[in-house]
């Protein structure tokens, strides 16, 4: 494996992301996406402030990136976390335009040496790709839910569950002691899903230790839904996104987001589709549909 420095890895990855976004949208959109990406993450990873993009024509295919050599002093595992966040934020921003082969295309633009360096920095690209395939299928099902809600047929023609399989489809699972992931297989031996055990355990403890049984109708009367709570629900109906994107779009901190999720979950407007993915409940979809309908009558 080639010995690629931190600064080179971040710089070349940024260029590869620009190329993927540019091909799937436009060069101008790619330029804006990369700028937003850096601003979104530099609060969490301060060393990303060392990324410099020289002035250029937004419609020019030539995209240059400069990264300070100071980044080479940052631990490689922290570089890996930043790179994983960069990939996830860009994919989420692209929404359905990302398609099924975002990671495959990113690898092609990055090249073999850079891809291997990214993997060795702790980024599981295969896991991200599996998650994104599931997200893509979930997005299509979410559109079915939205269409059914608007037509008033939500309960008459309810689509399949959002993860795309049930326990009956699972024939077995395997866990490598050296990995934090558990792989589920269907009856044909194909991979159904890969679950992050760290997140499963975290969500298990958080949910059970902080769980409060409530009457959703009573809670809705007693608890006011503020504008940003409503905007979060609306965003979740319109698109799939990760926590970083939600924080950026709503202008809130991670603590604020966690509190909003806790509150809306207690009101049964949100629920976990799997161990680290939130979705709107039927109550949440109906609530949004009713509120939007009321706005339209004003």
pLDDT digits (tens, 9 = 90+) for 24-65: 888 888 888 888 888 888 888 889 989 988 877 766 677 889
pLDDT tens digit sequence for 96-112 = 666 668 888 999 999 99
Tokens 């009101």 belong to 267
| Same domain assignment for residues 45 and 152 | no
Residues whose CB is less than 8 angstroms from the CB of residue 131 and which lie 6 or more positions away in sequence, other chains included: 194
Q: Give the pLDDT score at 166.
A: 81
Query: Mean pLDDT in the chain?
Result: 77
Which residues are registered as beta bridge partners of 248? none
- Tell me if 132 is assigned to some domain: no
Do 83 and 216 share a structural domain? Answer: no
Q: Are 15 and 30 in contact (CB under 8 A)?
A: no
pLDDT at 157: 44
Q: Indicate the angle between helix axes 282-297 and 125-150, nearest 10 degrees.
A: 50
pLDDT digits (tens, 9 = 90+) for 234-262: 888 777 677 788 888 888 888 888 888 87
Residues 176 and 114 occupy one common structural domain: no
Looking at the fold, whether 195 and 149 belong to one and the same domain comes out as yes
For the residues of 21-65, what is the DSSP string, one character each? HHHHS-HHHHHHHHHHHHHHHTTTSGGGGGEE-----TT-S----
Give the domain range for residue 60: 6-123
What is the model's pLDDT at position 214? Answer: 38
Residues 118 and 148 in one domain: no
Q: Give the per-residue pLDDT at 31.
A: 86
Is 189 inside a domain boundary?
yes
Whether residue 242 is found in the same domain as residue 148: yes
Query: Are 159 and 45 contained in the same domain?
Result: no
Residue 128 lies in a domain: no
Average confidence (pLDDT) over 84-99:
78
Do 203 and 237 lie in one domain? The reply is: yes
Residue 211: the pLDDT is 42
The residue behind tokens 């996406």 is 33
Phi/psi for 152 (5° steps) reads: 75, 15
* Euclidean distance between CA atoms 91 and 20, whole angstroms: 10
Q: Which residue has the higher pLDDT, 154 or 172?
A: 172
The three-class DSSP label of residue 226 is coil
Claim to verify: residue 173 and residue 35 sit in the same structural domain: no
In a domain, 136, yes or no: no
Q: DSSP labels for 139-208?
A: HHHHHHHHHHHHTT-TTTSPPPPTTS--GGG--EEEE-TT-SEEEEE-TTS-EEEEEEHHHHHHHHHHHH
Domain count, the chain: 2
- How far is the C-alpha of 157 from the C-alpha of 170, rounded, in Å? 25
Does residue 147 share a domain with residue 119?
no
Q: Which of 19-23, 94-98, 267-271 has the lowest mean pLDDT?
A: 94-98
* CATH number of domain containing 285: 1.10.10.10
pTM of the model: 0.54
Point out the domain boundary residue: 88, 123, 158.
123
Mean pLDDT, residues 100-128 taken together: 89
pLDDT per residue as tens digits for the range 185-229 = 888 888 887 777 766 776 666 555 554 443 434 434 434 556 788
pLDDT confidence band for 13 (50 / 70 / 90) = very high
Nearest-5° angle of CA 82, CA 96, CA 293?
115
pLDDT score at 219: 39
pLDDT confidence band for 80 (50 / 70 / 90)? very high
Whether 133 is in a domain gets the answer no
Whether 16 has a pLDDT exceeding 90, the answer reads yes
- Tell me, what's the pLDDT at 218? 43
pLDDT at 135 over 80: no
Residue 193 resides in a domain: yes
208 in the same domain as 156: yes
Q: Which of 123, 151, 172 is the last residue of a domain?
A: 123
**Same structural domain for residues 217 and 119?**
no
Per-residue confidence (pLDDT) for residue 231, from 0 to 100: 84
The last residue of one of the domains, among 123, 150, 169, is: 123
Q: How many CA atoms lie within 13 A of 5 on its CB side?
A: 10
- Would residue 131 count as lying in a domain? no
């Amino acid at each position: 494996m080639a010995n690629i420095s931190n600064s080179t890895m971040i710089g070349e990855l940024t260029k590869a992301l620009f190329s993927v976004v540019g091909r799937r949208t436009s060069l101008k959109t790619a330029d804006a996406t990369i700028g937003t990406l850096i601003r979104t993450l530099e609060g969490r990873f301060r060393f990303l402030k060392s990324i410099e993009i020289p002035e250029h024509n937004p419609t020019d295919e030539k995209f240059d990136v400069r990264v300070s050599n100071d980044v080479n002093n940052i631990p490689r595992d922290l570089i890996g976390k930043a790179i994983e966040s960069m990939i996830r934020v860009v994919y989420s921003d692209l929404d359905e335009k990302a398609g099924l082969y975002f990671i495959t295309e990113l690898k092609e633009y990055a090249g073999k040496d850079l891809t291997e360096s990214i993997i060795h920095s702790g980024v599981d690209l295969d896991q991200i790709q599996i998650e994104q395939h599931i997200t893509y299928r979930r997005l299509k099902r979410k559109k079915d839910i939205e269409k059914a809600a608007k037509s008033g047929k939500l309960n008459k023609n309810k689509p399949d569950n959002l993860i795309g399989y049930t326990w009956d489809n699972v024939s077995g699972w395997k866990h490598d002691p050296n990995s934090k992931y558990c792989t589920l297989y269907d009856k044909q031996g194909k991979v159904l899903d890969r679950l992050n055990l760290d997140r499963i355990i975290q969500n298990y403890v958080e949910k059970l230790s902080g769980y409060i049984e409530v009457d959703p109708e009573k809670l809705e009367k007693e608890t006011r839904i503020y504008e940003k709570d409503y905007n979060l629900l609306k965003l979740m109906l319109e698109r799939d996104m990760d926590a970083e994107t939600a924080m950026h779009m709503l202008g809130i901190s991670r603590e604020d987001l966690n509190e909003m999720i806790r509150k809306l979950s207690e009101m049964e407007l949100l629920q976990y589709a799997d161990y680290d993915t939130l979705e709107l409940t039927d109550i949440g979809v109906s609530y949004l549909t009713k509120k939007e309908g009321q706005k339209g009558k004003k």
